[in-house]
C-alpha cells in the first residue's frame, strides 16, 4: 500500500490564505489590523529562529507584529510588567512568551504565562483557555494540536467514531489533542511513559498521534494497516538531520496517510498562530461591539 503523504506546506498555505482574507476584513471593519507581540527573553538561538519565523509570517499576512527582546538577566517582575503593558495595549490582540525561559526565571513559568490576558493568549496555555477547551467552549487552542486536527479536516479524513490514540500527555500537545479529538467525536485514548503494552493499544488506532520526543519510536509493528499517522515529534539526530517520532520509511508502507518530518505538522504551527491572532481580535472586538 502506498500512503498519502500529508504535506504540511499545502495545508499551511490554505490556513494562511484564509487568515490573510480575515485580516483584510478586520482592517476594513475596525480600521486596524490584528497585532501580535512576541516576547523573547535571552538569546536562545532556536527561539530566535522561531520568533523570526512568526514575525515574517505576520508581515506576509498584514498582521502587525512586535518582537519584544528582553535581556537574559530580566527579572520575573520586569517580565510581568511588560506583559501587563501589552495586556493594556489596544493595538496588540495576541501575546506570547517564547519558551523556554532562561533558567533564572523558568521556575516562574506558570505565573508568567498566567499573567497574559486569556483573551490575548494566542498560545492557548492559560488555564482559562485550557478549561474552556475541556468543557467544549470556544477558546484559543494551542497551535500544534489545532493544526493537526485542521489538517485531518482539510484532508477529509473522518474523525467521528474513529479510534484515536495519542502517545504523549503534555500540556502543549497531548492533552489539548485529546480534547480536540474528543470534541470531534473520536474515541480517544492517551498513552504515556507509564502505559503498559503500548503496541497493543496503538495497533487499535485508526488515527495515531505521536508526540513523544523520541526519534523513530513508532515502528511498523505498532500500527494498524491503513491507519492515519500524525507525527508531531521533532528530533535532531545530527546537526542537519531532523526526524519524527515515527519511523517514516517503515511505517509509510503500511498506513493510509502519514505526515513527514520535516515538512509535516511543524509547518502548521505558525500558520495556526496566525489564525489564533485573527481569532483573538475577532473575539475581543465582538465583546466590545
Ligand atoms: P514532552 O516531553 O512534554 O512530552 C512527551 C510525552 O511523551 C510525555 O507525556 C511522556 O509521558 C510521553 N512518553 C515519553 N516516553 C514514552 C514512552 N516510552 N512511551 C509512551 N509515552 C512516552 O513533549 P511535547 O512538548 O509534547 O513534545 C513532543 C514532541 O513534539 C517533541 O519532539 C517536540 O519537539 C515536538 N513538538 C513539535 C511541535 C511542532 O510545532 N511540530 C510543537 C510542540 C512539540
Residue 261 and residue 153 share a domain: yes
pLDDT tens, residue by residue, 128-142: 999 999 999 999 999
Q: Mean pLDDT across the chain, nearest whole number?
A: 97
Mean of pLDDT values over 30-36: 97
Q: Are residues 42 and 154 in the same domain?
A: no
- Closest atom of ligand 1 to CA, residue 264: 41
pLDDT score recorded for residue 1: 65
pLDDT for residue 2: 82
Nearest CA residue ID for atom 6, ligand 1: 168
Check: CB of residue 211 under 8 Å from CB of residue 173: yes
Residue 160 placed within a domain? yes
Nearest 5°: the CA angle 7, 235, 176 is 70
Share of the chain above pLDDT 70, in %: 99
230 is a domain residue: yes
Number of domains making up the chain? 2
Establish whether 200 is a catalytic residue. Answer: no
How large is the average pLDDT for residues 65-89? 98
Q: How far is the CA of 65 from the centre of ligand 1 (A)?
A: 29
- Tell me: pLDDT of 18 over 80: yes
Distance (angstroms) between ligand 1 centre and the Cα of 282 equals: 32
Distances (CA, A) of 250 to 5, 38, 223, 245, 254: 13, 39, 11, 12, 8
Q: Where are the alpha helices (DSSP H) in 157-265?
A: 174-183, 198-202, 248-251
| Residue where a domain stops, chosen among 61, 83, 117 | 117
Q: What is the mean pLDDT of residues 17-21?
A: 98
Query: Measured from the CB, is residue 272 less than 6 Å from ligand 1?
Result: no
| 259-285 per-residue burial string, b: 16 or more CB within 10 A, e: under 16 | bbbeebbbbbbbbbbbbbbbbbbbbbe
Residue 24 banded pLDDT, cuts 50, 70, 90 = very high
Residue 98 designated active-site = yes
Sign of the Cα pseudo-torsion (121, 126, 132, 135, in order): positive
Q: What is the CATH number of the domain that holds 221?
A: 3.40.50.720
pLDDT in tens, 256-278: 999 999 999 999 999 999 999 99
The 10s digit of each residue's pLDDT in 143-182 is 999 999 999 999 999 999 999 999 999 999 999 999 999 9
Among protein residues, the one with the nearest Cα to ligand 1's atom 19 is: 193
Report pLDDT digits (tens) over 213-249.
Answer: 999 999 999 999 999 999 999 999 999 999 999 999 9
Q: Residue 288: what pLDDT?
A: 76
Q: Are residues 252 and 184 in the same domain?
A: yes
Q: Does 135 fall in a domain?
A: no
The rounded distance, in Å, linking the Cα atoms of 278 and 289 is 16
**Mean local confidence (pLDDT), 86-92:** 98
The residue segments making up the domain with residue 177 are 143-265
Report the pLDDT value the prediction gives residue 153, as an integer from 0 to 100: 97
Cell of 261: 518530518
User: Which candidate, 45, 41, 39, places its Cα nearest to that of 67?
Assistant: 39
User: Are residues 70 and 153 located together in one domain of the fold?
Assistant: no
- Tell me the per-residue pLDDT of 104-119, one tens digit each, with 9 for 90 and over: 999 999 999 999 999 9
Q: Does residue 71 sit in the same domain as residue 110?
A: yes
Task: State which of 78, 101, 117 marks the end of a domain.
Answer: 117
CATH number of the domain within which 40 lies? 3.40.50.10860
| Distance from Cα 123 to the centre of ligand 1, integer Å | 17
Amino acid at each position: 500500500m502506498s500512503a498519502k503523504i500529508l504535506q504540511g506546506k499545502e495545508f499551511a498555505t490554505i490556513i494562511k490564505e484564509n487568515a490573510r482574507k480575515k485580516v483584510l476584513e478586520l482592517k476594513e471593519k475596525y480600521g486596524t489590523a490584528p497585532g501580535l507581540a512576541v516576547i523573547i527573553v535571552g538569546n536562545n538561538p532556536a527561539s530566535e529562529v522561531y520568533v523570526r519565523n512568526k514575525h515574517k509570517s505576520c508581515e506576509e499576512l498584514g498582521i502587525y507584529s512586535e518582537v519584544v527582546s528582553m535581556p537574559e538577566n530580566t527579572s520575573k517582575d520586569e517580565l510581568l510588567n511588560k506583559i501587563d503593558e501589552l495586556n493594556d495595549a489596544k493595538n496588540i490582540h495576541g501575546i506570547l512568551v517564547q519558551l523556554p525561559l532562561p533558567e533564572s526565571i523558568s521556575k516562574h513559568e506558570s505565573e508568567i504565562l498566567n499573567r497574559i490576558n486569556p483573551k490575548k493568549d494566542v498560545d492557548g496555555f492559560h488555564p482559562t483557555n485550557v478549561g474552556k477547551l475541556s468543557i467544549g467552549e470556544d477558546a484559543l487552542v494551542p497551535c500544534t494540536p489545532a493544526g493537526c486536527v485542521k489538517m485531518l479536516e482539510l484532508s477529509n479524513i473522518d474523525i467521528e467514531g474513529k479510534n484515536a490514540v495519542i502517545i504523549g500527555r503534555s500540556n502543549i500537545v497531548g492533552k489539548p489533542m485529546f480534547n480536540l479529538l474528543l470534541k470531534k467525536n473520536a474515541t480517544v485514548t492517551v498513552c504515556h511513559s507509564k502505559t503498559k503494552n503500548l503496541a497493543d493499544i496503538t495497533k487499535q488506532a485508526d488515527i495515531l498521534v505521536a508526540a513523544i520526543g523520541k526519534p523513530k519510536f513508532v515502528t511498523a509493528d505498532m500500527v494498524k494497516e491503513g491507519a492515519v499517522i500524525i507525527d508531531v515529534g521533532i528530533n535532531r539526530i545530527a546537526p542537519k538531520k531532523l526526524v519524527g517520532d515515527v519511523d517514516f520509511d517503515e511505517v509509510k508502507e503500511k498506513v493510509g496517510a502519514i505526515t513527514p518530518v520535516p515538512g509535516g505538522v511543524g509547518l502548521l504551527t505558525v500558520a495556526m498562530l496566525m489564525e489564533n491572532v485573527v481569532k483573538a481580535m475577532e473575539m475581543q472586538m465582538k465583546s466590545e461591539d
